[in-house]
Amino acid sequence: MRQSDFCHGGVSVDFEYTAEQVQLRKAVREFAEAEIAPHVAEWDEGQIFPLDVIRKLGKLGYMGAIFPEELGGGGLGYIEYSIIIEELSRVDGSVGIIVAAHTSLCSNHIYKMGSDEQRRHYIPKLASGEWIGCWSLTEPEAGSDAAGTRTTAAMDNGEWVLNGAKTFTTNAHYADVCVAMAVTDRAAAQHGISAFVIEKDTPGFRAGKKENKLGLRASATGEVIFDGCRLKPCHLLGKLNEGFVDSLRVLDGGRISIAALSIGMAQGAYDAALHYSKLRKQFGRPISEFQAIQHKLVDMAVEIDAARLLNYRAASMLDRGLRVTKESSMAKLFASEAAVRIAGEAVQIHGGYGFIKDYPVEKFYRDVKLCTIGEGTSEIQRLVIARQLLKS
Ligand SMILES: Cc1cc2nc3c(=O)[nH]c(=O)nc-3n(C[C@H](O)[C@H](O)[C@H](O)COP(=O)(O)OP(=O)(O)OC[C@H]3O[C@@H](n4cnc5c(N)ncnc54)[C@H](O)[C@@H]3O)c2cc1C
């Protein structure tokens, strides 16, 4: 996928991966199969956060792929970033979401909206995996309606004082750095919310309850609590009162990573189902010879390709600095809903064995559901896309 060619409204479209992209996919797949696959079931069962793997991913340059090399990043684009998330998620969606929340939410918010000083302080540590990042927008009473944030930040003696609680924050319990949104001017509604960057040991800041989840159980999701948390003015991220608007821009890129997470898990489920269908014999022949099974495999393969193409279009546009609100929402909506269907069919192709934890499709079936919820539910994606369509 040459970024310059795969263009929205452009004259030419090149559907070939570059040699570097082929090599990148191969390298990440080999890493995932060697370092992640043997532990997936144990991590899932025990809800074990794969810290060692995250540190190794950092050393390989996969924790900051989209940031410039001078800041310690990989100097890559969103297509390459998607390839990394896809290949990790093809083996374990938990690793995929950990890297995605760290990179395109926390680190990217700092990179896009931060001062030069903030970028130089945080990005190299985050890109190397030395530090893990989390991003806290959602609150118990402010999910889809994220502008309903209740956490407050008020000035006192030249310092910001944060009070409130966030919920459902990915990486909350392992994060060295948190980007969080708080109300700084209640009367101004969504133009009265600001972003702050908070380091782990700051007094008054801590992770709260860790959720016991249906899926993606090796990733840690939970509360972030601010209890009189005092921050120097240099911890304001971006312009005062623009944190919510900036968050929406950050989510444009984040949704590409959730599409990639969906595609990766769908690919993993499809690969397992294809393999199983050739081995499993009923009525004296492999079940892959039954047309009903073939049609399932065909529909799965078509949906994976369609999801990938939608996502690479959004990725390519973002790399060229174009606004991708509609395209990234379309990619996330289609890829996540397709992935839920694909994981369901993968279980169906496995019959009773698909219901058993010895086979990987049971876990994909549980894990993939998050993709229609996180970073905006399917209903909210439709709302976002409808607004964009009605604008034209
Ligand atoms: C595993 C996991 C990881 C997450 N990671 C993060 C993270 O790192 N950082 C973060 O900030 N958040 C994170 N989230 C939160 C996630 O983004 C929210 O759960 C999501 O945005 C939905 O919010 P809600 O759960 O409050 O649901 P609600 O907003 O209460 O929605 C409930 C239902 O109502 C529907 N609905 C709501 N409003 C409308 C409307 N206007 N029109 C039509 N339907 C509507 C929704 O689509 C949904 O079906 C995570 C969530 C999970 C489960």
Q: How far is the CA of 374 from the centre of ligand 1 (A)?
A: 6
Atom 31 (ligand 1) nearest CA: 144
Q: Report the nearest atom of ligand 1 relative to the CA of 216.
A: 1
**pLDDT value of position 392:** 78
Asked whether 142 lines ligand 1 (CB < 6 A), one says no
350-385: string of b/e by CB count within 10 Å (b at 16+)? beeebeeeebbbbbbbbbbbbbbbbbbebebbeebb
Say yes or no to pLDDT of 4 above 50.
no
Q: Report the nearest atom of ligand 1 relative to the CA of 379.
A: 47
Mean pLDDT of 17-24: 97
Q: How far is the CA of 146 from the centre of ligand 1 (A)?
A: 9
Q: Report the nearest atom of ligand 1 relative to the CA of 137.
A: 11
Atom 26 (ligand 1) nearest CA: 143
Strand pairing report for 177-183 and 133-136: parallel
Q: Are the CB atoms for 71 and 124 separated by under 8 Å?
A: yes
Token look-up 């030419």 returns 12
Asked whether 101 lines ligand 1 (CB < 6 A), one says yes
- Determine the residue of 47, 250, 373 to mutate for testing ligand 1's pocket, defined as the one with the most ligand atoms within 8 A of the Cβ atom: 373
**pLDDT value of position 12:** 58
Strand pairing report for 159-170 and 152-156: antiparallel
Mean pLDDT of 360-366: 98
Question: Could you tell me which residues come within 8 angstroms of residue 253 by beta carbon, excluding any fewer than 6 positions away?
Answer: 78, 104, 108, 318, 324, 328
pLDDT band for 11, please (50, 70, 90 cuts). very low
Q: Are the CB atoms for 66 and 104 separated by under 8 Å?
A: yes
CA 7, chain centre distance (Å)? 23
The DSSP-derived string for 218-260 is TS-EEEEEEEEEEE-GGGEESSTTBHHHHHHHHHHHHHHHHHH
Q: Report the nearest atom of ligand 1 relative to the CA of 166.
A: 11
**pLDDT value of position 1:** 60
- How much of the chain is helix, strand and coil, in % rounded to 5? 60, 15, 25
Say yes or no to pLDDT of 105 above 90.
yes
User: 239-286 pLDDT, tens per residue?
Assistant: 999 999 999 999 999 999 999 999 999 999 999 999 999 999 999 999
Q: Cα(116)–Cα(122) distance, rounded to whole angstroms?
A: 10
Q: How far is the CA of 330 from the centre of ligand 1 (A)?
A: 17
Q: How far is the CA of 271 from the centre of ligand 1 (A)?
A: 30
- Determine the residue of 144, 150, 221, 250 to mutate for testing ligand 1's pocket, defined as the one with the most ligand atoms within 8 A of the Cβ atom: 144
User: 143-202 pLDDT, tens per residue?
Assistant: 999 999 999 999 999 999 999 999 999 999 999 999 999 999 999 999 999 999 999 999
Catalogue the active-site residues.
Answer: 375
Asked whether 221 lines ligand 1 (CB < 6 A), one says yes
The alpha carbon dihedral of 26, 8, 109, 388 has a sign of negative
Q: How far is the CA of 143 from the centre of ligand 1 (A)?
A: 5
- Determine the residue of 246, 255, 377, 378 to mutate for testing ligand 1's pocket, defined as the one with the most ligand atoms within 8 A of the Cβ atom: 377
Between CA 9 and CA 180, with CA 105 as vertex, the angle to 5 degrees is: 135
User: 47-83 pLDDT, tens per residue?
Assistant: 999 999 999 999 999 999 999 999 999 999 999 999 9
Could you list the beta-strand ranges (E) of 184-220.
Answer: 193-199, 205-210
Say yes or no to pLDDT of 8 above 70.
no
